[in-house]
């Protein structure tokens, strides 16, 4: 097989994988196993849920142009600070935006303790069934989703906190809800 033919075959396979991912978005719900891949961090390292199996993880898809998403980020940061010592990891997934926008966003928020990751292609969001943002998932230590929320409002934290507490330690509370 010539180099040109190998290149063409590889390109066709890659296009088939992307087409399959785009055609089969799942609408994930509580009880479903969360997709392992979450995105790439600022250093372009792959971030996977399996590397966080000992943690409860909040995965929230957002974009810099989305006003509700921008209102949600400080709430997510407060949640990260309140729950970090108890085993919580909050991941904010920058969805379908260029890596340059992602890098600028991370640099603009140097004090944030939550983990920012990029999903520039949108394939991770597609695996999670994301069609609108913000779109949040709570993933337990077992890798299963226990809470899903689409959109943002002040009541989100009131519904999320009991689920986070239950996932972290069987109902012991983390404290009062952060204000947004």
pLDDT score of 1: 53
Q: Of the candidates 140, 167, 75, 69, which has an alpha carbon nearest to the alpha carbon of residue 112?
A: 75
pLDDT score of 2: 56
For the chain, the structural domain boundaries read: 26-169
The string of pLDDT tens digits covering residues 7-36 is 443 434 344 334 434 445 568 888 899 999
Neighbours of 53 (CB within 10 A): 13
The string of pLDDT tens digits covering residues 111-124 is 999 999 999 999 99
pTM: 0.80
Task: At 35, list the tokens.
Answer: 């997709």
pLDDT score of 163: 94
pLDDT score of 127: 96
Contact 82, 178 (CB under 8 A): yes
Q: CATH: 3.90.1580.10, 3.40.640.10, 3.50.50.60, 3.40.30.10. Which one for 26-169?
A: 3.40.30.10
What span, in angstroms and rounded, lies between the C-alpha atoms of 161 and 163? 5
Contact 137, 70 (CB under 8 A): no
pLDDT score of 169: 76
Task: At 118, list the tokens.
Answer: 């990029």
For the chain, which ranges sit under pLDDT 50?
3-23, 171-180
pLDDT score of 153: 86
Q: How far is CA 29 from CA 100, 136, 145, 150, in A?
A: 32, 11, 7, 11
Q: Of the candidates 29, 25, 108, 26, which has an alpha carbon nearest to the alpha carbon of residue 74?
A: 108
């Amino acid at each position: 097989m010539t180099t040109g033919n190998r290149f063409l075959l590889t390109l066709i396979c890659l296009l088939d994988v992307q087409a399959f991912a785009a055609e089969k978005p799942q609408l994930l719900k509580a009880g479903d196993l969360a997709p392992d891949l979450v995105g790439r961090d600022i250093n372009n390292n792959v971030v996977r849920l399996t590397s966080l199996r000992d943690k409860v993880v909040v995965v929230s898809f957002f974009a810099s142009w989305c006003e509700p998403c921008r209102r949600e980020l400080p709430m997510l940061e407060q949640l990260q600070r309140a729950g970090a010592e108890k085993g919580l990891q909050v991941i904010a997934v920058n969805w379908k935006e260029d890596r340059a926008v992602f890098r600028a966003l991370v640099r603009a928020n140097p004090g944030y303790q939550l983990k920012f990751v990029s999903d520039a292609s949108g394939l991770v969001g597609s695996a999670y069934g994301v069609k609108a943002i913000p779109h949040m998932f709570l993933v337990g230590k077992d890798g299963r989703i226990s809470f899903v929320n689409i959109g943002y409002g002040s009541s989100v934290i009131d519904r999320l906190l009991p689920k986070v507490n239950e996932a972290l330690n069987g109902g012991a509370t983390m404290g009062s809800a952060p204000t947004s």
